Amino acid sequence: GQQVMQIPQYQHVQEGEDFTTYCNSSTTLSNIQWYKQRPGGHPVFLIQLVKSGEVKKQKRLTFQFGEAKKNSSLHITATQTTDVGTYFCAGGNSGGSNYKLTFGKGTLLTVNP
């Protein structure tokens, strides 16, 4: 079945440093979604990428979808303490009524002020 690997599992940075998390799928994806879960909270949707090679930005966050639609990355520029949390990617298949999202295990980001 479809597998989504996400690395690194943990990342600790100093405030102001950059951060990147990567996702790789064993199969071609129809779309990829990114979620953020703050400590003690629930995952919250950040963004969705659909097109091959797509790049989207949200303020200091940059999301990329690979040309082959099998990998994706989230890059945060100049991290802040508010960025703390676990970032999950979730890859979608193109199964129509059997559409299914497969989550990576997440990257826990901690930021030292």
**Which spans of this chain sit near another protein (rule: CB under 8 A)?**
30-31, 33, 35, 41-45, 48, 50, 88, 90, 92, 97-106
Of 28 and 30, CB closest to another protein? 30
Q: What backbone torsions phi and psi does residue 56 show, to the nearest 5 degrees?
A: -130, 150
The DSSP 8-state label assigned to residue 90 in this structure reads E
Alpha-carbon dihedral angle through residues 13, 76, 82, 84, given to the nearest 10 degrees: -50
Q: Least separation, in Å, of the C-beta of 102 and another protein?
A: 7
Nearest residue (CB) to another protein, 6 versus 71: 6
